[in-house]
Amino acid sequence: MYNDSLNGFSIIIGILCLLFIIALFGIKYDTTRLGEHSGYVTAIEQKGFIFHNYNVYFKTDNSSSQEDVYCVQESDVNLANQLRIANQQRKLVTIRYDGVRAWGFNLCSKNKIIGLN
């Protein structure tokens, strides 16, 4: 009887370790390829509990009600600062994004901005 509960506990620990490893390396669940989007940065905010990626809110036209959300990874501080400046200056910019979305630690669940023109 003791061995049965120990085996069940070992299975649960094994599953938790497996989930942690999957989260650590991430799971890619969507690929829309590379793309570009011209418009205006309407806001940029840093979100996250442990890893603080940036959410970038973007409109094709300032008068439009449609707003797209992109992601900039925490490690790309220069890009985040360039986007903040573009937002403050209300400057028309073209962003380049990678459509690979993923779930895991410090990965973007939205299209990831990889450059700014």
Q: Distance from CA of residue 37 to its chain's centroid?
A: 17
So what's the pLDDT on residue 100? Answer: 67
So what's the pLDDT on residue 87? Answer: 95
| 66 secondary structure, DSSP code | -
pLDDT digits (tens, 9 = 90+) for 2-58: 555 667 777 888 788 777 766 666 666 555 678 899 999 999 998 877 778 899 999
115 token code pair:
């450059």
Structural domains of the chain ordered from first start = 28-116 (2.40.50.110)
pLDDT digits (tens, 9 = 90+) for 61-113: 988 889 999 999 888 999 999 999 999 999 999 999 987 666 666 677 778 89
Torsion of CA 84, 89, 95, 100, to 10 degrees: 30
